[in-house]
Structures are given as C-alpha cells and as structure tokens.
Amino acid sequence: MARVATSYVCNECGAKSPAPLGRCPRCGTWGSVTEDETHAASPARAKSRPAQTTLLLGIDGDAPSRFSSGAGEVDRVLGGGFVDGSAVLLTGEPGIGKSTLLLQLAAFTAAAGADVLYVAGEESPLQVRLRADRLRVGEGLVLTRQTDAAAVAAYLVQRRPKLAIVDSIQTMTLGDDGVPGGLAQVRDSTAVLIAAAKESGTALVLIGHVTKQGTVAGPKVVEHMVDATLSLESAGDLRVLRSLKNRFGATGEVGVFEMTEGGLKDVPNPSAAFLAERPIGVPGSVVAAVMEGQRPLLLEVQALASKSPYAAPRRVVQGLDQRRVDVVLAVLERRLGLPLDGLDVYVNVAGGLRVTDPGADLAVAVAAYSAVTNRTVGESTALVGEVGLAGELRSVSQLGRRVQEAERAGFDQVVGPRSSERVRGVGTLTEALAVVWEGS
C-alpha cells in the first residue's frame, strides 16, 4: 500500500484530511477532525456508523449569497457573480488570458476592501506585480508562492478571505507523493482546497490548463469536483467565456471580452462586434439570429462553394456542428435540387465563435444557397430556424428575444418559423428562399 501522507482524521466518520479543518468535509461535523496518531490507513479500524438522514423539506436556510466579480460579462456567465464558498474552475489554452482575467477580478474585490488571496504558482511574484502594473490594479491584493495545498487550505480556514485564486491547480502539491500536475496531486489538492473554501465561505477559483491537443488529465478530474467550470476561448480578436457546468446557474452562458492593452474588457454588445467586419453585397454571407445560453447574438454565417479537384468533394465547417451542416446541405440537394455535386463547400461562423444552436440551420442553408447560386442576401435580413429533413422550418427557443436583438441591431426583417408576428414567417426552406429573394 502507498504511503499515506494524511495526518488528520475525522473522529465521526473516519474521513482523512491533510489539513486541520474545523469541520469535516465528508460528514459535516464540527470540531471532529483531530491529528491522526497512526499516520497510516487501517480500514479495519474504521467502524462505520449508519448514515444520518434528514427530511428534505425539513431543511431550510438561505440561498447562497453572491458578490459581483467586477466584470459584468463574468457575472453573467456565473449566473450573477461569485457564490460564497463555491469552487470554480477556469480552463483554457496557455496564453488565452486566464491569469490576466483573474488578476483583474482579484484586484477588483481587493480594491473594494475585501481580503483576497492570489496563489502564484506559475509565475514569480514580480511577474504578477508587473502584470498588475500594466493593468493598473493591485491595491490591497495579497499574494503567495505557496503551492502546498494544505498550507493554502489552512490559510483559507484561518483568514477566511472573500476570494482566492489558485494559478494554477497544476502547480499545487499535497504530501510528497507524485509530481505536481499529476492526476493524484491535482485531484487531492483540489479536494483539500474545495473543502477549505466551503468551510471558510471563500469563493475559490482554480485555473486549469488545457493543451491545444485537448484536455489534459488534470482539469477533467477537477471538473467533477467543482461547482462551476468556465472555459476561456478565443473567437478571432475576442475572448469568449463559456459556462460548461454551473451548479448555481445555467450552462452554455457566454460572456464576451476584448483583449486590450489594459487587460480584458467587457464587450457589452457582442452582436455589433461580431458583425463589425461583415462584407455587404457578397454572395454566401448571411446573418443568423442565434441564442448562446440566455444571450441572443447576431452572427455572420459564411459559405463558399468551389469546384472540387477531389473525387469526394470536401465539406469544411468551422464554428458549427459538422453533422448539422451536412444535414442542411443534404436537404438543399435532395429537396431543393441545389447542385452540390462536385463542389467543395466551406461554411463558417465569422469571428470564430462556436455555435451550438440548431436555430442557425436556416442561415447555413441560405448562405450555401447564396454561395452556389451567386445571389446576395439583403443586408438588413436576419435568419433563424431549424431545418428538418423534409425541408420544413422548425420552431426555435426564445424567438422573441432573437427578434428583439435583431431589431436593436438595426435589421428590418427576420425570416424564421411562423410563431411570432414580428417574424416574416415561413414553413419551409423553399418559402424562406422565396422571401429572401422576393422581388429580386
């Protein structure tokens, strides 16, 4: 059996812990964790008691309290700000801006007079200081280079900071087994930090690296343990923060930022930003009214068709679900007789955003049709709707909010499924094309 580094144990349930916690993270008993004299695991000693139970409706208390992160776009993705005592994982590729964003947020809360701890495991304190200078922030922010998770946990329990940032979870260690960044170290460090944050009421944010090749083992394990997972991605010149998991809010929520000289800045009107470089009067370019999370967005969908040099023509898709695009192209070919044979078709979402909403189908269909037939779509028309296999247009969620966003952005006409008066309602893809090119 591996050597056990644990040196504290709960006398109620036998849970082991490397830090002297005031409350057992497993059974919730206060003051039951004491130093483990044996320093070794002995399952035979652990006498299990029957689990204690409570009537569900007998439980009361207040909903967890929240505080603003200082960035409107982050608050939106979190579901209304940081939750006291919760743990959030922020993932993203190296260089995307995780440290920058969290330093900004840490500094905001510190400047408001609350205690904030920044664990600088990746960079030297001087590097963090220089970044703070660049961002012109840092008043009152407390830093540590300590990467021993038990020591950081003990700090949380004793000092009860409002917010703690761990940059990054891969640098944390617990005990002296294994390498930093290894699965066991990452998992065990996370467990100890989360338990401490729950006890101290600290909002804990863990930074987790993800490689370009995909996720590394660490963050995946951590994802199961935290209350919320956010990922920071690039979308052209913009940065998109997305909630992949959120026990205190909705998933799929997006926040949009711009990386500037002074760090990440909220982009409160992303539709305008995503449409800023839209070419006017070019075949293959259309505007889709999509929902990403609870946010309506207008995005440019582009298609290009060219004669293929290959026996099997290519379908190159970016920012959309490849299978959905394949279905839409098949419907265009089979139901509307659009000749795609021998053509390579490229479809992408301009600006680099990843769209998961099926409501983008109609825009994909019209963009492809426009590209193949070389006809342009009116610049003030936005499109919305899911395309079914029979070529029918299906309804989408939150149509009203999409239309409102389109109107706000100055679009005269929204073509979509027949379920709102403010939409130019159509029942099929054929009808949609007729409306789009009406009178032309």
Cβ at position 144, least distance to ligand TYD in Å: 17
The backbone torsions φ and ψ at residue 3, rounded to the nearest 5 degrees and listed phi first, read: -65, 140
- Check if the beta carbon of residue 300 is closer than 8 Å to that of residue 278: yes
Q: Which does 351 bind (CB under 5 to 8 A by kind): ligand TYD, Mg ion, none?
A: none
Nearest Cα neighbor of 413 from 403, 400, 426, 427 is 403
Cβ at position 237, least distance to ligand TYD in Å: 11
Taking the least distance from each CB to ligand TYD, the nearer of 16 and 265 is 265
Taking the least distance from each CB to ligand TYD, the nearer of 13 and 135 is 135
Cβ at position 18, least distance to Mg ion in Å: 26
Cβ at position 117, least distance to ligand TYD in Å: 17
Cα–chain center distance at 148:
28
Cβ at position 255, least distance to Mg ion in Å: 19
Q: Which is it for strands 343-349 and 315-318: parallel, antiparallel or unpaired?
A: parallel
Taking the least distance from each CB to ligand TYD, the nearer of 117 and 301 is 117
What sections of 70-124 are H helices per DSSP? 72-78, 98-111
Pairwise CA distance, residues 325 & 382, whole Å: 18
Cβ at position 207, least distance to ligand TYD in Å: 7
Pairwise CA distance, residues 5 & 191, whole Å: 14
Q: Which does 410 bind (CB under 5 to 8 A by kind): ligand TYD, Mg ion, none?
A: none
Q: Which does 246 bind (CB under 5 to 8 A by kind): ligand TYD, Mg ion, none?
A: none
Taking the least distance from each CB to ligand TYD, the nearer of 66 and 242 is 242
Kindly compute the dihedral angle of the four CA atoms of residues 192, 196, 198, 203, in this order, to the nearest 10 degrees.
-100
Q: 3-class SS at 317?
A: strand
- Partnered with residue 82 across adjacent β-strands are 67
What sections of 386-436 are H helices per DSSP? 399-408, 429-436
Taking the least distance from each CB to ligand TYD, the nearer of 84 and 123 is 123
Binders in 54-113 for Mg ion, by CB under 5 A: 99
Taking the least distance from each CB to Mg ion, the nearer of 209 and 324 is 209
- Positions in the binding site for ligand TYD (CB under 6 A): 92, 94-100, 131, 134-135, 259, 261-263
